[in-house]
Amino acid sequence: MAELLAAQLVRDVPNFPEPGIIFKDITPVLKHPQALKEVVDLMTEHARALKPDVIAGIESRGFVFGLPIAINLGLGFVPIRKLGKLPGEKISEEYALEYGTNTVEIHTDAVEPGQRVVVVDDLLATGGTARAAARLIERLGGTVAGFVFLIELTFLGGRKHLRGYDVFSLIEY
């Protein structure tokens, strides 16, 4: 397959959010209709093959891709949010980032026991966020059918924290 248009549009932002980090900025992809459609369509096709019952997106850029994937597949969408953003009864998981720690939460009624869930996010880095999302889904009795990412930073080794899961990324650095 020819190089994705999106891969040509992702830009590096040095020293964000902290000195020494090179941030992969996807906003040029989001504002380019052809590139956005291309990546959503390809991510949808991989998610479809995993036969999910529901799509989960990790805040916040996982929402950007997860929602259209859910709509394309005729499925519901479950938000996995940062600490303190969800009302109602929820469970939480703390995880390590490449530059600190954070916590994600999910509503306790978001995933039914036995449901197959595809987790969507924009970026796989160290794997901490994705692994925390998987733990939340599994604690609710769901099955993680797989992960779908726009970008994977292979040099950070995040895939090793997701062993045993189907992991798909469109663009690798």
Domain ranges for the chain, please list them. 9-172
pTM over 0.85: yes
Residue 99, pLDDT score: 64
Ranges of the chain whose pLDDT falls below 50: none
Residue 47, pLDDT score: 98
Each residue's pLDDT tens digit, 41-74: 999 999 999 999 999 999 999 999 999 999 999 9
| DSSP-assigned letters across all residues of the chain | -PPPHHHHH-EEEET-SSTT-EEEE-HHHHT-HHHHHHHHHHHHHHHHHT--SEEEEETTHHHHHHHHHHHHHT-EEEEEEETT---SSEEEEEEEETTEEEEEEEETTSS-TT-EEEEEEEEESSSHHHHHHHHHHHHTT-EEEEEEEEEE-GGGTGGGGGTTS-EEEEEE-
For domain 9-172, is the CATH number 1.10.275.10?
no
Residue 116, pLDDT score: 98
Catalytically annotated residues: 61, 98
